[in-house]
Amino acid sequence: MSEYAAYLGIDWADTKHDLCLVDAPTGTKTGLVLKHTPEAIAEYFTCLRARYPGQKIAVALEQSRGPLLYALLQYDFLVLYPINPTTLAKYREAFTPSRAKDDPTDAEFAAELVMQHRERLKAWHPDDEETRTLRYLVEHRRRLVGDRTRISNRLTSLLKWRYFCPKFMRQSFHEYAGESVQHSFWARAYYEQQIARGKTRQAAVRALAYKWIRIIWKCWRTRTPYSEVKYLESLRKKGSPLLKYAVTNPA
């Protein structure tokens, strides 16, 4: 008897997923489209568990990491087989060179691949909690560094046009200053401090923009990347009243 009660192939996408379920005892195939929402995923796999109580289901999907894979980890009856996209593409081409509209879907091929050749595939076992946490922090840091580099490059580019288009420069810094309130601790505190002093939103953003101009101008002249941590530390060493305001008036 098969070690699995069924085989499930998933063609992963951003907004929806094509699924093909093959019942092991009968070989019956069932195809459907699943929306990429927590509710839809939970409903389908809860029903799948009830359909095959106490039995394992092999799941083949075309990627080794991603939101869907991690979402499926909570279901202990699923055994996940991530398939290299190149492997699936070559398998598809071997049997459907014509690529006609009535050819099987990638979900069907994925299900067939894990059903017929799973001894050549490797089941995915998730990392322990500490490793997953570390990976998440590293990826989060990478995104922050990328955001900082992108914003710094854009601001540097704008600074080069400072003497040629001062009006455009002011408008651009006002726009970035407004955005920084959502991402910078001190910028948000400074903005709220200006509002507390009775300034309008436009005046508060304008004051914040002037402050950013001085900071970025110094970074540009010294060829030093802006660092939120270093700037906060400099405010602390100077005994800046801005930090005192932020502490006594948390967002």
Question: What pLDDT is attached to residue 161?
Answer: 55
Secondary structure of residue 123 in the 3-state scheme: coil
Domains recognised in the chain with CATH numbers? 6-120 (3.30.420.40), 129-248 (no CATH)
pTM given for the model: 0.49
Closest CA to 152 of 207, 93, 216: 216
- For residues 230 and 82, what is the distance between their CA atoms, to the nearest angstrom? 42
Task: Classify residue 47 as exposed, middle or buried by CB count within 10 Å of its CB (0-12, 13-18, 19+).
Answer: exposed
Pair 68, 12: CB distance under 8 Å: yes
Instruction: Work out whether the CA dihedral 109, 110, 111, 116 comes out positive or negative.
Output: positive
List average pLDDT for each run of 10 residues in the chain, which is 251 residues long: 85 84 94 87 92 94 68 86 84 72 74 88 73 66 79 68 51 68 84 89 87 85 85 84 73 55
Question: What pLDDT is attached to residue 151?
Answer: 78
- For residues 32 and 11, what is the distance between their CA atoms, to the nearest angstrom? 11
